[in-house]
Amino acid sequence: MTLAPVYPPAPAVSSSALTGSALGRLAALCPALQARVAEPGSRTPQGWADGAELAGRPEFLDALLAAETLRVEHDHGRTPRPDVAASRALHGYLWSVGLLMSGPWCLERRVPRLRPQDVRVSLTTGAFAVVPGGFACLPGDPAAGLPGVRVLPHEGALRAELRAGFAGHVGPLLAAIAPRVRRGPRALWGMAGDDLVSGVWYLGRMLGEEERGVRAASELLPGPVPPFPGGADFRPLTGREGRTYPTRTRAGCCLHYTIRPAEACATCPRTGDAERLRRIEGHGPC
């Protein structure tokens, strides 16, 4: 079971306009997603780079990682190792792009086509801008006949489209950043799968439908699906009065624990179940 689609009206508008509307709605729902919709055909502003430039031009990647180092120094008062800064910057990109692609799937059963050159990131603030394009949808979608829309036969095909689109988008960046993060392909694709799942889970919480978000993420990655080495793998935690909460353990690490050793991420392998429950029941989901 997945989050129920909410189809907006499909007047005589372009597929990119519908994608832009969905992305705008997603950004409004998700405070942690720092993204805006850019005009189709607009140029990348100075001080920004798109995903293709990050993967293909080392000077842009250098600038992104230098800005991440400065943010860590400002926020935490310590200078991260180069591989830590690279891991954090990569995590931010993977999580944001994963949510930008999975969010419209959750909300409208539409998978946007986001090429690397369609996603821009500020080299100073880390904010995102997205140039909307076409999308894939199911036969019953009222926008199925629009130019730029690919119609897929069933839900399984739509999920496969989302996995393939995300993998195709982030693959070049993973290859380019691998020497900076000092990790191999399996660990990097594990991190990508983690962030894809995490975005769906987060959106479920923002909608007040965490349980359905967990189910959606579990259907999207039910197990190892190449190139992703693992599945969503949610499991229950039992807290006070027998109440259960979903949790999972990440396959890839953003290395946040190297900056704040006492505050490893809630799904980090270093964070035990007792600590996870303490955070959930004492401080809310993390």
Residue 76 reports pLDDT greater than 90 = no
Query: What pLDDT does 256 receive?
Result: 82
209 occurs within a structural domain:
yes
Residue 61 lies in a domain: yes
Give the pLDDT confidence score for residue 169 in this predicted structure: 98
Q: Name the pLDDT band for 285 (thresholds 50, 70, 90).
A: very low
| Domain of residue 85, residue span | 15-232
* Cross-strand bridge partners of residue 236: 246
Least confident interval from 62-71, 72-81, 113-122, 123-132: 72-81
- Measured in degrees and rounded to the nearest 5, phi and psi for residue 95 equal -65, -45
Which pLDDT band, with edges at 50, 70 and 90, does 269 fall under? confident
pLDDT at 2 over 60: no
Higher-confidence residue of 87 and 261: namely 87
Which pLDDT score is estimated for 240?
Answer: 86
Q: Looking at residues 225-245, what average pLDDT do you find?
A: 93
Number of domains in the chain: 1
CATH for 39: 1.10.510
Picking from 198, 202, 214, the residue whose alpha carbon sits closest to that of residue 267 is 198
Q: What is the pLDDT of residues 138-197, one digit of tens each?
A: 999 999 989 999 999 999 999 999 999 999 999 999 999 999 999 999 999 999 999 999
With respect to residue 39, please indicate whether it lies within any of the assigned structural domains. Answer: yes
d(CA 50, CA 37): 14
C-alpha 164, offset from chain centre:
14
Taking alpha carbons only, the member of 183, 209, 180 closest to residue 194 is 183
Q: Is 96 left (phi over 0), alpha (psi -120 to 50) or beta?
A: alpha
Residue with the two structure tokens 């195709």? 168
- The whole-number average pLDDT for the span 29-38 is 95
d(CA 135, CA 221): 20
Here the tokens at position 184 are: 């191999």
Residue 110 lies in a domain: yes
Judge whether 97 lies within some domain: yes
Identity of residue 226:
P
Tell me the mean pLDDT in the region 3-31.
79
Query: Which tokens is 286 given?
Result: 């993390």
What is the share, in percent, of the chain residues with pLDDT greater than 90?
A: 79
pLDDT at res. 4: 53
| pLDDT-derived band at 3, boundaries 50, 70, 90 | low
Reply yes or no on whether the pLDDT at 11 is more than 60: no
Q: What mean pLDDT value characterizes the chain?
A: 91
53 in a domain, yes or no? yes
3-state secondary structure the chain: CCCCCCCCCCCCCCHHHHHHHHHHHHHHHCCCCCEEECCCCCCCCCCEEEHHHHHHCHHHHHHHHHHHHHHHHHHHCCCCCHHHHHHHHHHHHHHHHHHHHHHHHHHHCCEECCCHHHEEEECCCCCEEECCCCEEECCCCCCCCCCCEEECCCHHHHHHHHHHHHHHHHHHHHHHHHHHHCCCHHHHHHHHHHHHHHHHHHHHHHCCCHHHHHHHHHHHCCCCECCECCCCCCEEEECHHHCEEEECCCCCCCCHHHCCHHHCCCCCCCCCHHHHHHHHHHHCCC
Q: In whole angstroms, what is the distance from residue 82 CA to residue 255 CA?
A: 11
Taking only the tens place, the pLDDT of each residue in 195-215 is: 999 999 999 999 999 999 999
d(CA 190, CA 254): 11
**Of 11-15, 123-127, 276-280, minimum mean pLDDT range:** 11-15
* Residues in CB range of 211: below 8 A, 6 or more apart: 204, 246
pLDDT at 9: 53
Residue 272 lies in a domain: no
- Least confident range from 86-95, 210-219, 249-258: namely 249-258
- pLDDT at position 54: 97
Which residues neighbour 175 within 8 Å (Cβ) at sequence distance 6 or greater?
Answer: 55
pLDDT band at 1 (very low <50, low <70, confident <90, very high): very low
Inside any domain, residue 137: yes
